[in-house]
Each structure stands twice: as C-alpha cells, then as structure tokens.
Structure 1
Amino acid sequence: MLSKPAKTLVIGGNIWYLGEGMLGPLFAVFAERVGGDVLDISWAWAAYLFATGAAMMVASRVADARKSQARMMMCGYALNAACTFGYLFVSSPLHLLIVQLGLGIANALATPTWNALYARFEDRQHECTTWGL
C-alpha cells in the first residue's frame, strides 16, 4: 500500500515525534534547573511557536520556488538534532530561549517539506489510510 519513499517518510517522522515526545515532559524540569520559572518556560515556548510560524511561511515559499523539499527537510532534521544537542550547553533562561528559536526554525524547515513529499508519494486509492499512518 505504501510506496518505499512514503514508508521512509513515515518511519523518519515517527522517529522525530518519538524524540520530541520524550523530551517534552522533561522540559519544565530542565528549565527550572537552569534558573527558569513558569514565565521563562512560557516565553521559551512562545518563542518556539513564533519562530515556527514565521519561518514556516518563508521556508515553504523557498521550498516551492527551488523544488528542494527533500534537502530542506533533511536540513530541518539536522538543525533539530543540533539544537536538541544544544540543550547540553544551556546554562541560563536566555540560552534556553535561543535553543527554542533554533528548534522552531528546524520545525519550520522540516514540517511543510515533509507534508509536500508525503503528499507526492501517497497512495491515491487509499488517501485516508495513508494519512492516518
């Protein structure tokens, strides 16, 4: 039912979300450890969401114009890995904010390009099942 490229995208996407899901519950504990409080966590999360939204509009236009969806998606995954590794060097709420901005940009590079590639390789006869995976 799934083509090989679609299967690869599903596996890669699941690994991405597994990693994000494992980090999420530890985020508040980590932010408190570097001297942050609830307000700092809120600012860091808002920065992540803002960076994702603003960069996603730009990244999706660039990906369409240059037809470089696969490269941009891989750059997003690589930047996500680098920024996640950056958590090891966070020692203040400002550092946390910078890492969150980087993760937002990484998400903006990877998400729309993943969706475009998946739509290109989906099984047209089983669209709901394909997107339900």
Structure 2
Amino acid sequence: MKKFLLSHFNRAIRILLATNALILLAGAMLGPIYAIFVEEIGGDLMDASVAGFLFAITAGLITLYTGKYSDGMRHSDKIVILGYSLIGTGFLLYQLVDSVMSLFAIQILIGIGEAVYSPAFDKLYSKHLDWGKSGTEWGTWESMNYFTAAFGALVGGILVTWLGFAALFYLMAFLSFSSGLYLYVVSPQRVL
C-alpha cells in the first residue's frame, strides 16, 4: 500500500493527479442526477440522452484533431489549462440554462473543453511517468478516476438535496477553474 501513496510519485505526476481529480470530481457530481436537472428545465429523458450524445460526439470528433495537434505542442500545460477553463465556463453557464437548446449548446462547449484538455493531459502525464512505474502511475490515475466518480456521485446528490443545483454548478465551476489556475501558477516554474 505504501507504494500507492502520492508522496512516492514525482511532483509533476502529483500535480497532474490532483488537478485532474478536481475536474473529474466536478463532472461526477452531476452525472447521476443529470436527468433530474434536464427535467427541471423542461426537458425529458430523450433530451438528456441527446445532450449526452452531443457532449460525447463533440469530444470524440475534436479529440481526433487535438490529439494530433498536441503531439507538436511545446506547452501542453497551457492547452490543459484552456480545456479546464472551457469546462469550468460550461459548468458556470449551467446557471443560465432556460431551455433544452441552451443546454445542448453548453454540452457542446463542455465537450470541446474535454477534447482540448484530454490529449494534452495524457501527453504530459506520459512524459512525466517514472521509469519502471508506468503501470503503477497509470493505475493510480485509473483508481483516482473511480474514486472521484464514487465520491462525486455522493457529494452531488447531497449538495443538490440540501442546497439545489445552483450551489452544485458553482462548486463544479470553482473546482475546474481552481485546477486551471493552479496549473497556471506552477507551469512557469517548469514543473510540467
């Protein structure tokens, strides 16, 4: 168990794990209750499905381009910051959703943010893997992905039950912007 503690990883991996955990946590908080939100704005289950489709198809198509583009990028950290910021903006814009069409537009924006950051993040993470620890360090990311999904699902439900969707959206945006801001602060230090 000792080798799975973050202190055993290099600083860049720890930073990437921590900031990405906040992004994944933010998204996970809405996931299980997303259809309820769609219903609250006048949509139905089919609208929730179409919104999910628009996010995924946008992210999938654009990732093909951004993945290729990230190979030639010298400052992948800036691309990750941009992606985190786009996602945070989308989460903040959930506050303004008053129709299914505006929801669809925001889902596309969040899909673009996902497509922008994911390949650049993977490039950075792979670049900073320690020799002989790639399985452990990628396994730690995978495990963190599941832990944030579990914790996010629970926290999102509790938060919306007690405070409503507005509080959830503000927290999701805060986590996303905090991740981007932290990367912005550490990137001039040549950590990434």
Task: Give the ranges of 4+ consecutive aligned residues of structure 1 lying more than 2 Å apart after TM superposition.
Answer: 65-68
Q: 1:62 aligns with which of 61, 69, 73?
A: 69
TM-score, with structure 2 as normaliser: 0.67
Q: CA deviation at 1:67?
A: 2.6
**What is the one-letter code of the residue matched to 1:30?**
F
1:122 equivalent among 129, 147, 171 = 129
- 1:108 corresponds to which residue? 115
Letter in 2 for 1:4: R
Quick check: 21-30 or 78-87, which moved more? Answer: 21-30
- Matched with 2:172 is none
C-alpha distance in 1 between matches for 2:33 and 2:74 = 37
Is the CA contact (8 Å cut-off) linking 2:16 and 2:125 kept in structure 1? Answer: yes
RMSD between aligned residues: 1.0
2:40 counterpart (29, 33, 40): 33
The C-alpha deviation readout for 1:34-57, integer Å capped at 9, x for no partner, is: 110111111111100110011101
**Structure 1 residue aligned with 2:18, among 11, 14, 35?**
11
- Does the 8 Å CA contact 2:63/2:119 hold for their aligned counterparts? yes
Corresponding pairs, count: 133
Instruction: Tell me the distance in 2 between the aligned counterparts of 1:53 and 1:127.
Output: 25
**Deviation of 1:66 (Å):** 3.2
Secondary structure (helix, strand or coil) at the match of 1:91 reads: coil
- In structure 2, the CA distance between the partners of 1:65 and 1:126, relative to structure 1 (3 Å rule), is closer
- Please give the per-residue CA displacement for 1:15-64, whole angstroms capped at 9, x wherever unaligned: 11111111112211110011101111111111001100111011122222
Matched, 1:131 2:138: yes
CA distance in 1, matches of 2:124, 2:72: 15
Unpaired runs of at least 5, structure 1: none
Task: Show CA shifts across 1:63-113 (max 9, x none).
Answer: 223333111111000000000001000000001100100110100011111
Identity %: 26
